[in-house]
Structure 1
Amino acid sequence: MKRWYVVQVYAGYEEAVKTDLLKRIQETGTEEKFGEILVPSARLKHFFAVDESQDEQLFPGYMLIQMEADPQAIKLVTSNSRVLRFLGGKTPIPLSQKEIDRVISQMKGEVVLPTEKIDFVVGSEVEIKDGPFAGFVGLIDKVDTEDERLTVMVSIFGRMTPVELGFNQVKR
């Protein structure tokens, strides 16, 4: 029975590993042991991006492989030089159907990933990491937790200027 397994690969080589695996599966004639191979990614919208959106990986450095976990199939996957290991060690542990359904729904955009909850305090200093003011340091003036927005006072040409930013555009 084919189950889903997580494979750790070198970050940035997920698509290359997928292409190589598909080629090797075809060469060895083991198509019946393998199902889908997924590199989980989703279309994310960036606030100041020139292009509207782009695919970003949900789990950089990891792939999902649907396969029968017999020694031949495991060896075929791990013999790739860019594959580090299966999650679970020597005997790979399959994912539950609930976990797979959640990942697939994230890929389709049906589930919104929760943003990291960070408590921002008025008067604390933050560094702007995204947008036209990236690299500036400012003081938090207002916090809107409902809309996940901050008003940060930034010194521009010697004057304190309020700048509206999202929680994801600053770091403490």
Structure 2
Amino acid sequence: MATESFDKQWYVLHTYAGYENRVKSNLESRIETMGMTDYIFRVLVPEQEVEVEKDGETKIVKENDFPGYALVEMIMTDEAWYVVRNTPGVTGFLGSHGGGSKPVPLLPEEVDDMLARMNLVERKVEHLDVVVGDSVDVVSGSFAGQEGEITAIDDEHQEVTILINMFGRDTPTQISFNDIKPVK
């Protein structure tokens, strides 16, 4: 007998790569037509905005963080599981071991990190242990992967100003506390 959970939790779906948004659309449509709005709540494709330079112009585009995956917030009942599993483009759940086993939900901290990264929730940083002159890594946002030196700290707005090397020059840039970590 399959166990059912009556807690709303987040699960990761495997999809065909490049079909994540189509799966989202298909699933949202099926939720309505199959009367599952009380069991399946949100479908997200993990994306973030990044700056891309093309033909000398800088544009902001959405980039898929995890190609081939989508997130679904749902109550894991047999019916909801069936609807999601049989949505066109869905190849399975991450954490399901086949043979009718239900998938493992994401941990709350994983969900919080993912939603904050997508700017869907604001995460408040209690204290950032850095001082002017420290080096930090940018871990999310438009400058992810860059390293910079802190030139100013704004505790009220939870931002630091760091110097990031752009086009061969150090450029002052404001970055949220959430988007950096100290270099050890």
Question: Structure 2-normalised TM-score?
Answer: 0.59
Aligned length: 123
Is 2:73 the counterpart of 1:66? yes
Question: Is the contact made by 2:17 and 2:67 (CA closer than 8 Å) also made in structure 1?
Answer: yes
Query: Aligned letter for 2:74?
Result: M
Aligned pair partner of 1:8 in 14, 20, 29: 14
Distance 1:70 1:27 in 2: 17
Q: Which of residues 111, 117, 120 in structure 2 aligns to 1:106?
A: 117
Larger Rg: 1
* Partner in structure 1 of residue 154 of structure 2: none
Structure showing the higher helix proportion among its residues? 1
Deviation at 1:45, TM superposition (A): 1.0
How far the C-alpha of 1:7 sits from its partner, in A, is 0.4
Mapped to 1, the partners of 2:74 and 2:87 lie a distance apart of 16
Instruction: Report the Cα distance in structure 1 between the residues aligned to 2:165 and 2:71, rounded to whole angstroms.
Output: 32
Structure 1: tracts of 5 or more residues without a match: 117-145, 150-162, 165-172
1:33 and 2:39 aligned? yes
Q: Secondary structure at the match of 2:140?
A: coil
Secondary structure at the aligned position of 2:113 is classed as: helix
User: TM-score by structure 1 length?
Assistant: 0.63
Cα distance, 1:148 vs structure 2: 7.3
Q: 1:120-159 alignment to 2 at 5 Å?
A: none
Q: Any stretches of 5+ residues in structure 2 without a counterpart?
A: 1-6, 123-138, 147-162, 169-184
How many Å apart are 1:96 and its aligned residue?
1.2
Which residue of structure 1 lines up, in the alignment, with residue 145 of structure 2?
115
Question: What percent identity do the matched residue pairs reach?
Answer: 32
